[in-house]
Amino acid sequence: MKLDSLSIESLKEIVKVAKEQGVAELQVEAKDFKVSVNFATAPAQIHHVQPMVHAAPVASVQAPIQQNAPAKATASDAGLHVIKSPFVGTFYSSPSPGKPIYVKVGDKVKVGQPLCVLEAMKIMNEIDSDMNGEIVEICVDNESLVEYGQPLFKIKA
């Protein structure tokens, strides 16, 4: 996140919202300082860095490495298209409570068809299919927290 100026109250609010949403790491850059917060390893720690000068500053958020995640796709995954989470958020399989789910295993989907909703910072984002095919696996449970790049759906063309 790049900012020209930032009050300490604004910074506290950004950190609070990020922590509530399950963000693992947060970097905030302003004109004359940089703050990095890591929620994954210990209680929130704010590190102040000396003033910096950049021609084109870039902020990035990286997901923590999952210790127990399998390193390789299984042979049965060969030829499947994987739709991954574009950001950290909460996965919802239906548009709202009490409504029918978007898709289930075995459903045929088309490009642009909504598959789920990801909530991030109180904003609901529909995730659409980017190919035609059949849902062969839904990789996460309803209302679970997902990380950036985590597989959500596997689709067979």
My answer on whether 35 and 59 are in the same domain is yes
My answer on whether 111 and 46 are in the same domain is no
Q: Using alpha carbons only, give the angle 86, 87, 93 rounded to the nearest 5 degrees.
A: 80
Q: Ramachandran region of residue 67, left (φ > 0), alpha (ψ -120 to 50) or beta? A: alpha
pTM over 0.85? The answer is no
My answer on whether 42 and 61 are in the same domain is yes
Q: Which domain holds residue 16?
A: 1-65
CB 129 within 8 A of CB 110: yes
So what's the pLDDT on residue 28? 73
pLDDT at 112 over 70: yes
Min mean pLDDT across 70-74, 83-87, 123-127 is at: 70-74
Which of 34, 65, 96 is the C-terminal boundary of a domain? Answer: 65
Does 1 reside within a domain?
Answer: yes
pLDDT tens column, 17-42: 777 777 777 777 766 667 777 765 44
Number of domains present in the structure of the chain: 2
pLDDT tens column, 83-107: 999 999 999 999 988 899 999 999 9
Specify the DSSP class assigned to residue 63: P
CB 96 within 8 A of CB 56: no
